[in-house]
Amino acid sequence: MKFGVVTFPGSLDDADTVYAVRDVVGIETIPLWHKDRDLHGVDCIVLPGGFSYGDYLRSGALARFAPVMSSVVDFAASGGLVIGLCNGFQILCEAGLLPGALVRNQSLTFVCGQARVKVERADTPFTGLCQRGAVLRLPIKHGEGCFVADESTLRRLEDNRQVVVRYVDEGGAATAGANPNGSLNNIAGIINEGGNVFGMMPHAEHACEELLGMKDGALFFRSIESWVGREVRR
C-alpha cells in the first residue's frame, strides 16, 4: 500500500510523518505538494501537523482552498482513507470533511507536552490494531486544539459512536484535569459518518519508536496498513 503525505506552506510535521510511516513503520510513502491534483494512486492520505499558511484567519482555513484539497475531498467521497493530525484535523473540519471546529485552547496558551487518550472504538480503519478501552500516550503541541460543536452535532457524534479517542487520565477517566485544551466531552479525535476520514489533535507521528520515549502512535499507521490489506484480499 501507499501513503500520501501532503505538504502545505507552513507544514512542519510532514517530514516527520514521512519518516514515521516510511522508515519506522515500513510503508511506502509519497510526498504530495499543496498544488498537486494527482494523488498518485495512494491508499491513504495524511494531512500533517504544522501551521499551514501561517494559521492566518483560522487554523486550516486557507489550506482548505489548496488545489490538492479538491482531490482529497473527491478521494474521501469515493471511500478513500484520510487522516488528519493536529493541523490536519483542523483542515478536515474547515473543509467540511469532519463536523465541528477547533478553536483557541481554553487556557488561551499554546500547550506542548504529553496526553493520554482512550480508544473508544477499535473497529475503524485507523484503530483496528488497538484494544477498545486502551489508554495510549501521545505528544501534543497546539494553540487551537479545543474541539467544539453545537449541541445537536455533539449529541450526534456521541450517538453515532464517532468519537474515536478521548482525553483521559492515567486510569482512563475523562476528567477535566486530563483535558489539555478544554475540548467538549474530552474529545481528542473523531471519524466521519462514512468511517473513512479521521481527525486527531495528538501527534501519532511523533510516537512511533521507543527511542523517542513512546511508540503508541505507530498503532494508527499499522492499523491502516492492516485494514487496506484486508480490503485488497477480499
> Is 203 considered catalytic here?
yes
The amino acid that residue 229 corresponds to is G
120 catalytic per annotation:
no
CB 95 within 8 A of CB 74: no
Smallest CA-to-CA distance from 48 within 73, 62, 35, 31 is with 31
φ and ψ at residue 24, rounded to 5 degrees: -95, -55
Instruction: Give, for 218, the enclosing helix (H) or strand (E).
Output: helix 218-233
Task: Detail the DSSP E strand segments found in 91-134.
Answer: 101-103, 111-119
Grid coordinates belonging to 79? 471511500
* Backbone phi, psi, residue 44, to 5°: -150, 135
The residue from 34, 142, 203, 206 that is catalytic is 203
Nearest to 217 by CA among 89, 127, 122, 109: 127
> What is the distance between the alpha carbons of residues 105 and 87, in angstroms, rounded to a whole number?
14
Catalytic residue among 34, 44, 86, 142: 86
Residue 225 annotated as catalytic: no
Which one from 146, 205, 206, 208 is the annotated catalytic residue?
205
DSSP E strands in the chain: the ranges are 2-7, 28-33, 44-47, 81-85, 101-103, 111-119, 135-142, 146-148, 163-168, 187-191, 197-200
Q: Which residues are catalytic?
A: 86, 203, 205
